[in-house]
Amino acid sequence: MDEFYLTFIFLFVLFWVGLALLGVAFVGMELFTTRPVGDTMITTIWTSSSSWTLTALPLFIWMGEILYRTRLSEDMFKGLAPWLSRMPGGLIHTNIVGCTIFAAVSGSSAATLTTVGKMSIPELRKRGYPERMIIGTLAGAATLGLMIPPSLTLIVYGVTINESISKLFMAGIVPGIVLASMFMGYVALWSIFKKDEVPPREPHMTFRQKLIEARLLIPVVMLVMFVIGSMYLGFATATEAAAFGVVGSLVLAAFQGSLSLGTFRESLLGATRTSAMIALILMGAAFLSLSMGFTGLPRALAEWIASLSLTKFELLMALLLFYIIIGMFLDGISSVVLTMAVVEPMIRQAGIDLIWFGIFIVVVVEMAQITPPIGFNLFVLQGMTKHEMNYIARAALPMFGIMVLMVFVLIGFPDIATWLPDNMRTRPGG
């Protein structure tokens, strides 16, 4: 258990997460094993970082970076607004649907929030929508970038436990749509019980006018269908689909006229920085997992949990509380890689499906994005809106409650996460 405590000590003195993990693993190997630490560390880091599956990660990050620098969000708002303005709650739904669509080409919660928020916040403010609803729905809906494929968190989870990335992606589709529908249901209920806060409806548009505006959605919808469909139909592995996505996003940016040498360079540098950060965390996590394996901590902890005779539900509730607490201090990817060496043996011993558990983890990690003091989405929104952190956290609180409800929906109806991956075609290496 000393390694676990030492990790948090390193994190609290503001070490980089990846270096903290490497340092703790090094100390653990040096003190508790007789193996040569240097050789073991080099071998482990090389093995973990040279994984073919991991190649999908920087490619999907680059795809999101390219699209982030296009006029995609502006086109999405214009294309969605005519269809959503007549729904209960009006244009607030553009936050949720816009985030859902962009999440399917970004994979990043922060990129989704920034891209959709830059367009929707000024437009919704101009039309008189309540500030807390604008901010709250945006904070919650942006977390869909962690679940709807291509999710960076699911890639990291899959690499960490050696599960199929393609199957994890398929597992995230239906739960992502269900969660987005729950957010939209909340907006509809708000419009019913708070009618005085809802601005007047947008001017009526004919069906033909709506179709004309909807043409702006065609490029991104086609890209989403191509990337996800190629994996589901077995034409491509996750890595190959990511490569197709990069090419498609470059073509889309070129057609929009927003692809220049400057934007290409910025997207490449942004993807490199993010990929390097995640790669360092994964290297540290791989070495820490090996170190913990030698010390016997995961096995001992799994045996202790088994001795408590917890039911699956009780174990999941304990893990729900555990991840909510550590999510207050760590970002989602760090939470996953830091804990999986200890948590995975428990899950396997309890007989919980690892694909299903990946979606469970992502929902709980999504909560961490909007919980203070280290809720990343809250910081991004604070920079965009200049509101106090407490105000943004209170605005996002209903979304947090909906995510908790989503956990129980997953437990009660596990097929919503497992049906698609169980019935998809796969190619080796996916």
Contact present, 58 and 275 (Cβ < 8 Å): yes
pTM of the model: 0.75
- What's the number of CA atoms in the CB half-sphere (13 Å) around residue 78? 12
User: Residues 396-415: what's their mean pLDDT?
Assistant: 92
What b-and-e string marks burial along 291-329, b requiring 16 or more CB atoms within 10 Å of the CB? Answer: bbeebebbeebbeebeeeeeeeeebbeebbeebbebbee
Contacts of 227 (CB under 8 A, 6+ apart): 104, 105, 149, 150, 241, 242, 244, 245, 248
CB count in 10 Å sphere of residue 13 = 8
For the chain, give the mean pLDDT: 78
Report residue 149: phi and psi, to 5°: -65, 145
- What pLDDT, on the 0 to 100 scale, is given for residue 90? 82
**pLDDT at 234 > cutoff 60:** yes
d(CA 172, CA 416): 9
DSSP code per residue over 20-80: HHHHHHHHHHHHH--S-HHHHHHHHHHHHHT-SGGGHHHHHHHHHHHHHTTTHHHHHHHHH
The predicted structure's pLDDT at residue 427: 57
CA distances for 319 relative to 85, 205, 231, 361, angstroms: 40, 49, 31, 9
Residues 193-216, mean pLDDT to the nearest whole number: 78
Query: Residue 331: its pLDDT value, please?
Result: 65
- The reported pLDDT for the residue numbered 12 is 47
Phi and psi at residue 131, to the nearest 5°: -60, -40
- The residue with greater pLDDT, 59 or 304, is 59
Among the residue ranges 12-21, 93-102, 280-289, the one predicted with the least confidence is 12-21
Among 44-53, 138-147, 321-330, the minimum mean pLDDT is found in 44-53
- Mean per-residue pLDDT, 285-306: 65
User: Per-residue DSSP letters for 262-274?
Assistant: HHHHHHHHHHHHH
- In Å, the largest CA–CA distance within the chain is 76
Q: Is residue 179 over pLDDT 90?
A: yes
Q: pLDDT of 300-345, one tens digit each?
A: 665 676 677 778 888 898 888 888 877 776 666 777 777 787 788 8
Confidence of residue 52 (pLDDT cuts 50, 70, 90): low
Query: Quick check: helix, strand or coil at residue 173?
Result: helix
Calculate mean pLDDT across residues 402-416.
93
Residues 61-104: tens digit of each pLDDT: 787 778 777 776 667 777 777 777 778 888 888 888 888 887 77
CA-nearest of 296, 248, 217 to 63 is 248
pLDDT band at 357 (very low <50, low <70, confident <90, very high): very high
Mean pLDDT of 121-131: 85
Residue 430 has pLDDT above 60, yes or no: no
Residue of 400, 411, 402 whose CA lies nearest to 189: 402
Average of per-residue pLDDT across 370-378: 72
Query: Rounded to an integer, what distance in angstroms lies between the CA atom of residue 370 and that of residue 393?
Result: 7
Across residues 389-412, what is the average pLDDT? Answer: 90
Upper half-sphere CA count for residue 316 (Cβ side, 13 Å): 23
Apex 111 CA angle, 367 and 324, nearest 5: 15
Which tops the pLDDT comparison, 31 or 161?
161
Write down the H helix ranges in 233-373.
238-256, 261-295, 297-307, 312-327, 332-350, 354-368
Q: How far apart are CA 140 and CA 117, in angstroms?
A: 12
Q: What is the pLDDT of residue 407?
A: 92
Q: Which residues contact 294 (CB under 8 A, 6 or more apart)?
A: 28, 29, 32, 33, 35
Q: Supply the pLDDT for residue 301.
A: 60
- Helix segments in 296-331, DSSP class H: 297-307, 312-327
Model confidence at 277: pLDDT above 60: yes
222 falls in which pLDDT band (50, 70, 90)? confident
Q: So what's the pLDDT on residue 415?
A: 92
> What's the rounded Cα separation, in Å, for the pair 168 and 149?
8
Range with lowest mean pLDDT among 110-114, 219-223, 225-229: 110-114
